[in-house]
Structure 1
Amino acid sequence: MSHLLRTSRLFAWFFFTGLSLAVITVSGFYLYLRPGLPPVEQLLDIKLQTPLRVYSKDNRLIAEFGEKRRTPITIEQIPTIQLQAFLAAEDARFYEHFGVDIKGLVRAAVELISTGSIQSGGSTITMQVAKNYFLSRDRTFIRKFNEILLALQIERELDKDKILELYLNKIYLGNRAYGIAAAAQVYYNKPVNELSLAQMAMLAGLPKAPSAYNPLANPQRALVRRNWILGRMKELGYITPDAYELAVNAPLTASYNAIESEVDADYVAEMARTEMVRRFGEDAYTDGYSVRLTVESDKQQAATKALRAGLEAYDQRHGYRGPIGQLSEDDLRGADLERLIKNYPRIESLIPAIVTAVDDPQGEARVYARDLGPAVLPFETMTWARRYKTEDLKGPTPDKPSDVVATGDVVYVKFQSPADPQTLESNRPGLPIVALSQLPRIEGALISLDAKTGAIQALAGGYSFSQSKYNRATQAKRQLGSTFKPFLYLTALENGMTPATIYNDAPIVVDTSELGAAWRPQNSSGQFGGPTRLREALYRSKNLVSIRLLRDLGIQTALDMLAQLKIPTDNMPKDLSLALGSGLLTPMELARAQAVIANGGYDVEPYLIEEITDIHGDTLYQAPETRLCDTDCAPPATPPVAETPVPEIGETGRAAAADAPPPPRIMHRLADERSVYILHSMMQDVIRRGTGRRARVLGRDDLAGKTGTTNEQKDTWFAGFNHDIATTVWVGFDQPAPLGRGEYGASTALPVWIDYMKVALQGRPPAFMPRPNGIVNVRINPETGERARPGEEGVFELFKAEQAPPLLSDDGNGNGGTGGGDLSRQLF
């Protein structure tokens, strides 16, 4: 008995000694590590890395920027059964333990001792939160001890639901998806609350090993993991046996679903991204900012579509340049066509395709199109494909498919429609129909502004952003051609001339030191019209009248007027070629200048960003109201700026939202409203009877504009507007080169403008500039510009009241009177 007592005392002594040593060791670790542990309060301030999202004015997604896909979500937004799926998979005793599951740790320790590795793990969800938010992924005892200490702290300071919410927003679930909301989108293209039980269990199986149990990479292992979780949910009483049977027998439905843009606006998205990085630095990609732009989705989509269609139409007018690749018969024999065609990229709606057979009697070719498979290429879609030789020369019209394509050709096609079995031979029903196409070499840009505010309503900077990041709308400085003339004519109206002023449309020779050799400019038609009123000279785009007009006004006077209108003059020549638009502007700069004319003569500054909000939905920036200076506004205290800057970024990286709305953006008048009103009328005639008359197809009377074509047709333009919207289109090669005979602003740029404005103006009432006081209508002789005699054929013209042609005397000799008197009696 005494031996047993001594043995018991010895064991007790060893036990208490070991326990004391363990307590001392743990306490030592705690005292050593505790000062280096971060405060738990940081969890509430940590910003989850959430991508930058860019939206249209009507809140449709344009783009997302950032490496990590994440959409933070509250626990109230997650179905209970989804929460239970994660608890069953990761930590069934989550609501029972105090942050550390002793049973789990002991089990993990036993596995480590017996097998040399941890099989089941011992981390609770709280410990995973500590690791994911604060610690590295190093598999060391020190890190594990830190994890335990942090978990204990977290449990003391946060409630269980908050911990679970933090976990479900942070975990990595594969395919760049961080958090449950992003994973539901990536794998099932659904919000969390629309997932089935089987889909919920599949997501719950991902945290253990996102690559090993990924339903896209390893569907069979993912299925086993899903069904195990469903079994655990049944054991824990979360689901009924019937629900379990339905779920385990459900097929795999996961697929890759990238967040897709709802608006085709890559150039606009890049402008927004650049601006956000300028303001917020690299944090723009991770801090969850949302940017709402001024572009409207329907107009933006119309702009992109119109520009691409216009460039394709020009490109096809000038012939087919041949296949983009060629495969031999050996390449095709027994080949994986889908693998071969993957070497050629899709570009917007252009799909690369391999010609697999050509059937002249049938009048078709067979192709294998990327992501589409076998398809039919009918000959009627190839008739445009005369061989390109030069911009002015094409080969003969093809008579059969083999004149255009050959077996092994790699070509671009566009999807048209599925085959119609009623109209096609019985051997090819169900095959889709495609049309021959090609990637245009020509480029262009479209920019549309709200004329009264400067808000960018639509912008397209080229055919394809994936092909060229160069934004021609904002970066391409090109010669203006005749789109410059309205500014010259406005200068004339501001300097005492009228639409009835007569100039001679006749040959002119300029021999000056500035231009070197003698310069003999011509009208684009090569013809001369003799004495011509300025109104007619503008809508007929008479070059020779413009040159004489500039010579009389003086080059410096014209440049001063440009500066008054805030049009850049750095790239404007100081010689008479200025009259023909030899100066350089970007499409954006020209659109902004046209908006000044459109809105009645007020300054305007284009802007793109309407609002910036942070991850919490708080507004960091709101675009200021634009106020035209003589319509209820006060003089600005400081010079007007394009945008009020975002408030300074604080230490946390967030800007403080202003309590009061930003001060308005004050825009002053830059030109006399009567001069601008008369110019509106003159530019409306460009569409009614001049070079822009194709725009009459829109059936509106409120449109005005100007075509433009530079020397050798290297740059072509159309800039048009009503009182609300100003839209400019440019078409040309990136490296200036002739577009070919017969290609002018009216044939290249104007069709794009028309297609866009059909959508932009749909359902909108006419918008005319209000007629200002001091404008009179006078009937004049169209040949002389003088007031018409009673009974004489004449036309009505607009004049400033003080410039109206004088009344004729009553002596019948045509001697002019003194004018003046009651203006109402002068209207004939």
Structure 2
Amino acid sequence: MPKRSSKDSSSSGSEKGRNRRRNKPARKKHGLGTLLLFWPFALWQKITSAFPFIIRLPARLIGHPAILSLYFLIPLSIFYYGRARQFDMAKVSEMPERSIVLDRRGEELGRIHGEKRDIITFSDIAPEFLSAILAREDERFFSHGGVDWIGFARATLRNIKDQSMTQGASTITMQLARNSYQLQAKPLSFSHMVQELDRKFLEIAVSYRIESNYAKEEILTHYVNRIFWGHSIRGIEEASRTYFEKRAKDLTLSESALLAGIVRGPNAFSPFKDIENSRFERDSTLQRMVDAKVLSQEEADAAMAESIDVRPEWRRVFHDSWAMDAVRRELERILEEENIEFGGLQITTTIDNLVQKKAEEALDQHLRKFERGGGYQHQTRAQWLALPEPRPAPQYIQGSVVVIENLTGAIVATVGGRDADESKFNRASQAKRQIGSTFKPFVYLAAFDHGLRPDTMLSDDPLRRGEVKGAGGWSPSNSDGKFLGMQPASVGLIRSRNTMSVRVGAFAGIDYVKEIATSVGFERELSSDPTAFLGTLDASPEELASAYTVFPNRGVRFPPRLIAEIRNRDGGVEYRNPLISYEAVKPGSAWTTSRILHQVMESGTGASVKRLGFNKPCAGKTGTTNDYRDAWFVGYTSSLTCAVWVGLDQPKKTIDRGYGSTLSLPVWAEVMKTADRLGYKADGLDSKLSFQDCRICRVSGKRATPACESAGEAYSDSIPIDLVPAETDICLQHVEDVSEKSGNRPPKAVPVGELPPTEQAPKAIPADEEVPRAIPVEEDIPRAIPVE
């Protein structure tokens, strides 16, 4: 076979090479999208190509999956960051808390609305507690940026191994995020695990936002203010007060460890429920503090040896109060619902808690004594308390006390019953009961406006048919069953004479008495029936007390006010109650009536007040309704007006001779004695008014004429200037006797409340006690002396 030349051989090889290149598949060209998508892998491949094989291989085994994970993490982060941006970071520091209610002295009355929480600052928290909560919940809190990835990885591996989601690895920041916002999973999540992962990723994103908006101390403070500690308790301050009756900054190491320990199961580990479980949680927290090197073993052992002293059981029950009940009702009237529910307000009231407590105590003590006395045939409070739970509504005798400051209308005390825990019906403001004879002063005031004078003679005899318009044959009797004949008008009020009071009302006119009743603040319209003159009007103790303030105030009324001021959590004023007043009645008539009411306490139905120990200047009126169903006393000093009611919730007879002077006046005296000692001075009831001396006819109450002088019915009176009769307003009931020169005396005139025309009008029967004439005074009503 002929040899192939080298040239041929070379030519043949070149040909084969060309054939191989021609037969080899062509390389696929990569597009721009591919390069953009996979350049991180290529870059890492190029970087690691220079590494030795022993390093290059693991670097690529770790690096490529890590790069691959970024393809998921980056869009995932963008997605959850976008969702996290929807949350207002200011909400982290905003949390519902209780509104604090203060009395006029700044003493705390209680807390209402919001959540059972008291927000405090970082400096108000014991350092021992901060160390304990960090050791227990987030040891690396100050070193991570919101998420503890070491703890997160450990919890994730544990969950994968256990096929559960029990290990959360939540940091304090993550817990704060969860507690501050409603972090709900997307509705497209199709399994519980995916839902939990979705919520956890959102929680992480929100946590990073919190860390970027708040300092670490702020985050920790907001966290401990939000924590739930069982029994509706939220926040470290409230937990400290509830469990240990001290402020959070005063917690000991042992107490701090216990509170930090029970956070993970506050109801289950509550020291109120299981002291041994609480002890175990405290000790385990102390040991974790040792492990975290924030506590020595000796210090931990000493704290473990301490006893656990929590609030005793008898002080754990929240007791309601009538003052707080009144505040709640008033807030519903003046605040928006959002402000009420969110709380955090500082509410300053007009209540004086010292007077309030005395009023509550005096009412219950007096009625307990009354229940033990003879003749009481109803349920007693002791009998009701002895009934098994659940008890029915109490049927024992109840009462109410309202104290109002005359010159401001401020409610100083309000008691709606004997115990606010046993009955939620507030009789001070909600109960409308017949006010009986306590209404009579307003009837007399109306008559004084029309010219009646305290010394004008009136008949106390039985009413005659047709004598009083609308009365028909009705003729009321007096409480003593007697009729005193002709008496000065003042006696009718001092001795609470029914027949005289009806005649006084008829003199004023029912329409005008209605007008006066509305002007002094009674809410319900007065009946047009003559019985209204004797107090058939229904009113609350608060209404009655407020109405009576026109007497010491010379006719001026300040509507009752309970809330003085409301401030928000930043200290700004949300509400301020302005001082409003108006002239409800004529000053002269108010003063004239007040002088008579002073005599009620000297010689009338309230005279026993001195025997009860109250000797300061005062005025007032008793009231008792038919069959002794309601017993009232309303009285005042220069500083305060107080109304007391006693009766049964279902109107029925309390006891034979259950008068206001017996059931209500003793309570009034105790309250006013305390108020006087506290600075609400009873300095006198005289007013600075202008007076004018006049000669007045005792029969008609008008300017006396020579005929009145001749008849012996003229007298001198010093009259408030606004009540002085006009020069032309002269008596027409006496006429000059043309036969005077012959020595014959003129006939007696027929007075107001005249006897039958056929009978001669008798002279006045003298009262047991002298009724003083009006004397002008120079002193003004002093205000209550402020108490520091």
**TM-score range with shorter-chain normalisation?**
0.7 to 0.9
Deviation string 1:779-809 (CA, Å, 9 cap, x unpaired) is: 99999999999xx9x9997534746999xxx
Could you tell me which amino acid in structure 2 is paired with residue 153 of structure 1? R
**1:497: how far off?**
1.8
**Retained in 1: the 8 A contact 2:689–2:720?**
no
Cα shift at 1:715: 2.1
The corresponding residue for 1:458 is 413
Per-residue deviation at 1:468? Answer: 2.8
Between stretches 156-165 and 735-744, larger displacement belongs to 735-744
Verify the 8 A CA contact 1:498 1:799 in the aligned structure 2.
no
Task: Give the counterpart of 1:223 among 279, 285, 294.
Answer: 279
Q: 1:447 to 1:673 in 2, by over 3 A?
A: same
Asked if the contact 1:40–1:154 (Cα under 8 Å) also holds between the matched residues in 2, the reply is: no
Structure 2 counterpart of 1:460, one-letter code:
V
Question: What letter is aligned with 1:271?
Answer: A
Matched, 1:352 2:306: no
Give the superposition deviation at 1:454: 0.8
Q: In the alignment, is residue 84 of structure 1 matched against residue 39 of structure 2?
A: no
Say yes or no: does 1:295 pair with 2:351: yes
**TM-score normalised by structure 1 residue count:** 0.73
| 2:734 matches 1:734 | no
Alpha-carbon distance in 2 for matches of 1:261, 1:202: 22
Give 1:352's aligned amino acid: A
**Separation in 1 of the partners of 2:331 and 2:681?**
36
Give the alignment of 1:79-158 within 5 angstroms. Answer: 79-117=126-164, 121-136=168-183, 140-158=196-214
Residues 512 and 518 in structure 1, CA contact (< 8 A), matched pair in contact too = no
**Residues 209-358 of structure 1 correspond to what in structure 2 (within 5 A)?**
209-255=265-311, 266-278=321-333, 279-281=335-337, 283-317=339-373, 352=386
Q: CA deviation at 1:199?
A: 0.7
Question: Any idea what the Cα deviations from partners look like across 1:596-650, whole Å, max 9, x if unmatched?
Answer: 12211112200111111223333211222x2xxxxxxxxxxxxxxxxxxxxxxxx
What amino acid maps onto 2:153 in structure 1?
Answer: V
Deviation at 1:125, TM superposition (A): 1.4
2:512 matched to 1:598?
no
CA change 1:45–1:8 in 2 (3 A) is: closer
Unaligned runs of 5+ in 2: 1-48, 186-194, 732-740, 747-773, 778-788
Distance 1:237 1:690, change over 3 A: same
1:702 Cα offset (Å): 1.9
What residue in structure 1 maps to residue 81 of structure 2?
A: 34
How big is the shift at 1:21?
A: 2.0
Distance (Å, rounded) in 2 between the aligned partners of 1:198 and 1:499:
75
Q: 1:620 to 1:562 in 2, by over 3 A?
A: same
Tell me the distance in 1 between the aligned counterparts of 2:356 and 2:404: 11
**1: CA distance, partners of 2:524 / 2:323:** 26
Distance of 1:105 and 1:826 partners within structure 2: 89
The answer to whether the Cα contact below 8 Å between 1:715 and 1:730 also exists between their aligned partners in 2 is yes
SS of the equivalent of 2:386 reads: strand
Matches of 1:260 and 1:617, distance apart in 2: 31
- Which residue, out of 208, 220, 240, partners 1:184? 240
Question: Given that residues 599 and 724 in structure 1 are in contact (C-alpha distance below 8 angstroms), is that contact kept between their aligned partners in structure 2?
Answer: no
Which residue is equivalent to 2:256? 200
1:539 — aligned with what? Answer: 494
State which structure, 1 or 2, has the greater radius of gyration over its C-alpha atoms.
Answer: 2
Q: Report SS of the residue matched to 1:597.
A: coil
CA distance 1:172–1:137, shift in 2 (3 Å): farther
CA contact (8 A) 1:348 1:464 kept: no
What displacement does 1:503 show? 0.5
Deviation of the 1:676 alpha carbon: 2.0
Deviations 1:266-293 (A, max 9, x none): 2331222133234221541333223221
For the 8 Å contact 1:40–1:157, the answer to whether it is kept is no
Residue 107 of structure 2 aligns with an amino acid whose one-letter code is R
Residue 615, structure 1, aligned to residue 569, structure 2: yes
Change (3 A) 1:539 1:99: same
| Number of the residue aligned with 1:507 | 462
**Contact residue 100 and residue 123 of structure 1 kept, 8 A:** yes
Name the residue aligned to 1:585. Answer: 539
Shift in Å at residue 527 of structure 1? 0.7
**1:532 positional shift:** 0.4
Q: Which has the higher strand share?
A: 1
Partner of 2:434: 479
Aligned length: 670
d(CA) in 2 for partners of 1:532, 1:219: 77
Checking the alignment, whether the CA contact within 8 Å between 2:114 and 2:343 is kept in structure 1 is: no
| Shift of residue 456, structure 1, vs aligned partner | 0.6
After the TM superposition, which of the residue ranges 308-317 and 37-46 deviates more from structure 2?
37-46
1:69 aligns with 2:116: yes
1:11-51 per-position Cα deviation (integer Å, ceiling 9, x unaligned): 54443331122111111211222211146762466421212
> Are the equivalent residues in 2 in contact too, given 1:350–1:439 (CA < 8 A)?
yes
Structure number having the greater helix percentage: 2
Shift in CA distance, 323/679, structure 1 to aligned 2, threshold 3 Å:
closer
Aligned mates of 1:460, 1:780 — CA distance in 2: 46
Does 2:632 align with 1:717?
yes
Measure how far apart 1:482 and its partner are: 1.2
After TM superposition, give the deviation of residue 684 of structure 1 in Å. 0.4
Confirm or deny that 1:159 pairs with 2:215. yes
Match of residue 424 from structure 1: none
Partner residue of 1:435?
Answer: none
Cα distance in 1, alignment partners of residues 572 and 680 from structure 2? 33
The alpha carbon displacement at 1:190 in A equals: 0.9
Query: Is this contact kept in 2: 1:288–1:615, CA < 8 A?
Result: yes
Kindly indicate whether the alpha-carbon contact (under 8 Å) linking 2:428 and 2:540 is maintained by their aligned counterparts in 1.
Answer: yes
Equivalent pairs: percent with the same residue?
28
Partner of 1:691: 605
Aligned positions of 1:409-428 closer than 5 A: none
Q: CA deviation at 1:696?
A: 2.0
Separation (CA, whole Å) in 1 of partners of 2:338 and 2:720: 56
1:140-191 Cα deviation digits (max 9, x unpaired): 1111112222222222332111111111111112222211111111211111
Q: Matched residues in 1 for 2:597 and 2:468: separation?
A: 34
Query: TM-score, normalization: structure 2?
Result: 0.76
Q: CA RMSD in A?
A: 4.1
Stretches of structure 1 lacking an aligned partner (at least 5 in a row): 325-346, 355-369, 371-409, 413-437, 627-664, 816-823
